[in-house]
C-alpha cells in the first residue's frame, strides 16, 4: 500500500461531489478528506491506476491530480491528524 493525494475540480453536472466521495471511499483501504476536494488514500496500486479508476466517472471538463507521497507536513486537516500521521510514518 502507498499513500496518495487526490485532488479534483468538478466543472460539469456529473459527477456530483457525493458521487466522487463515494467512489473514493470504495477504491481505497484507508482514506480521508484532507481539504474540501483533497483526499488522502492508502491504495494498493499505482498513481496511474488510481487516476484511471477515478477518471472513469469524470466528465471531459473535470480536472484530476493523483500524487504518490512518501512524506507530508501540515498544520490542521479535516482528516484525523493521527490517522494521517500514522500513514506517513508507516511509509517512512
Nearest-angstrom CA–CA distance, 24 and 55? 11
Nearest-angstrom CA–CA distance, 5 and 11? 20
Nearest-angstrom CA–CA distance, 71 and 53? 24
Which CATH number applies to 2-91? 3.30.70.240
pLDDT at position 58 is 96
pLDDT at position 91 is 60
pLDDT at position 92 is 53
pLDDT at position 51 is 97
Tens-place pLDDT, residues 22-39: 999 999 988 999 888 999
Tens-place pLDDT, residues 48-84: 999 999 999 999 999 999 999 988 888 878 887 787 7
pLDDT at position 89 is 75
CB 84 within 8 A of CB 69: no
Q: Which 8-state DSSP code applies to residue 15?
A: S
pLDDT at position 7 is 95
Amino acid at each position: 500500500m502507498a499513500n496518495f493525494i487526490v485532488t479534483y475540480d468538478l466543472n460539469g453536472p456529473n459527477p456530483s461531489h457525493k458521487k466522487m466521495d463515494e467512489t473514493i471511499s470504495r477504491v481505497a483501504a484507508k482514506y480521508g478528506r484532507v481539504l474540501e476536494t483533497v483526499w488522502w488514500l492508502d491504495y494498493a496500486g499505482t498513481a496511474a491506476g488510481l487516476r484511471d479508476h477515478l477518471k472513469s466517472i469524470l466528465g471531459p471538463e473535470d480536472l484530476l491530480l493523483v500524487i504518490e507521497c512518501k512524506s507530508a507536513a501540515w498544520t490542521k486537516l479535516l482528516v484525523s491528524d493521527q490517522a494521517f500521521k500514522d500513514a506517513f510514518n508507516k511509509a517512512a
